[in-house]
Structure 1
Amino acid sequence: MSLKLRLTDDMKAAMKSGDKQTLGVVRLMLSAIKQREVDERTELDDAAVLAALEKMVKQRRDSVSQYEAADREDLAQIERDEIVVIERYLPEKLGEADILAAIAAAKAQTGATGPADIGKLMGVLKPHLAGKADMGDVSRLVKQSLS
């Protein structure tokens, strides 16, 4: 089952069960996906849907830090609750050891040896790790391994 269909089914289930929080967040996710489809004039596949959901999680994490800085714990908690619902649809994150193994394999594949090869290495890693790992962490580990 595609991720969009799963979201639609979960929205219907949340409507029937009266789970307003989950319903609201699932509607936000479907809205973001639909908006991206309209903007790009294309049907999103699961990888693109995952990218949209990752973006939503990142936006909410930024909001949490801003709300905490403004001493608005009530609003920060709402954002954290939304993150929990969104993360149900994301694949489990890879550990640092798995990321380092992927970096080593990509280095062997591309022959990357120094900092000048960061872009080439990230180009190989991104399709394999998108949605499975925080790309900021991947970038940091790539820079460490190439320096």
Structure 2
Amino acid sequence: MSPLQQHIADTIITSMKAREIERVKVMRNVQAVIKQIEVDRRIELDDADVLDVLQKQLKQRQESLAIFTENDRDDLAAKEQFEINIINEFMPKQMDDSEIAALVNTEIAAQGATSMRDMGAVMGSLKKKTAGRADPALISKLVKEALQG
């Protein structure tokens, strides 16, 4: 079990003792997704893989939050925001836009990338370097801009 998975399990136990039922539900849901991936792939996830899972869970909830907010479903939007806040507790500190842009430019220069054909290699390397600390959509957008411009 990776250290991040252990931290999630410990948080569930602590939350159960504190009788934080809604928090336990969210964390058990996340833990179930992680376990399901491990069973399906027959591997044990490391921290980077767990961060990917958490990032996907966040993205799903953020999309739902936007839909619920747009449709004036404040009750469901509040639930999604609550879940986002809990999952964010396990995410590393996010990089700001200038840090991401600098990292993108450095990686493009280091790889000698000049066209969109190089985007996959640049994105693969940046995904490992940012490991949950930056939004992949933002990284992709910055890489595209840099390689096209």
TM-score class, shorter-chain normalisation, is: over 0.9
Cα distance in 2 for partners of 1:46, 1:126 equals 14
Structure 2 counterparts to residues 70-109 of structure 1, below 5 A? 70-109=71-110
The letter for the 2-side match of 1:131 is: G
> Runs (4+) of structure 1 moved beyond 4 Å?
none
Unaligned runs of 5+ in 2: none
Cα distance in 2 for partners of 1:142, 1:15 equals 43
Number of matched pairs: 147
Cα distance in 2 for partners of 1:104, 1:59 equals 29
> What percent identity do the matched residue pairs reach?
39
User: What is the TM-score with the length of structure 1 in the denominator?
Assistant: 0.94
Is residue 17 of structure 2 the alignment partner of residue 7 of structure 1? no
1:124 is aligned to: 125
Cα distance in 2 for partners of 1:123, 1:41 equals 23
1:27 is aligned to: 28
Cα distance in 2 for partners of 1:9, 1:133 equals 25
CA RMSD, aligned part only?
1.3
User: What is the TM-score with the length of structure 2 in the denominator?
Assistant: 0.93
Unaligned runs of 5+ in 1: none
Cα distance in 2 for partners of 1:8, 1:79 equals 21
Cα distance in 1 for partners of 2:103, 2:129 equals 9
Is residue 40 of structure 2 the alignment partner of residue 64 of structure 1? no
- Per-residue CA deviation, residues 120-145 of structure 1 (Å, 9 max, x unaligned), is 32122121123110000001111122
